[in-house]
Amino acid sequence: MASLKDTAEQLTTQLEDLVGQLRSELTNGSVDFEKLVTVADELSERADGLAETFSNVNDALMQRIQQTKGSSSGGGQSKRSGSQSESSKAGSRS
């Protein structure tokens, strides 16, 4: 599985390539506006995809943090009550 860093690097490289195509087309001399529109649309779609990817990663991480917080607060009480009942058992055995 690719790491987040690898994925981000690949996606940003693709964006940089598209920006280079736009720059080249604009400085070329004979500007092809249809090509500019096509490249700009593709650039926009890729940028939206990158934003969606980062948003999904953020949502997943925040959900995991909330789950961890929830289980640690609920789990902490269970552990304490479990320890108390075990020490009560040990005291009653004596």
User: Taking a C-beta distance cutoff of 8 angstroms, is the pair 16, 42 a contact?
Assistant: no
Whether the per-residue pLDDT at 92 is higher than 80: the answer is no
What pTM was estimated for this model as a whole?
0.60
84 pLDDT higher than 60: no
Q: If we measure between CA atoms, which residue out of 45, 34, 40 comes closest to residue 22?
A: 40
In this prediction, residue 82 has a pLDDT band, given cuts at 50, 70 and 90, of: very low
Q: Which residues contact 28 (CB under 8 A, 6 or more apart)?
A: none
Given a contact cutoff of 8 angstroms between Cβ atoms, the answer to whether 26 and 36 are in contact is: yes
Return the amino acid letter for 71: S
Q: Please state the φ and ψ torsions of residue 2, each to the nearest 5 degrees.
A: -70, 145
The pLDDT tens digits for 23-76 are 998 888 788 889 999 999 999 999 998 899 889 989 999 999 999 998 877 654
94 pLDDT higher than 70? no
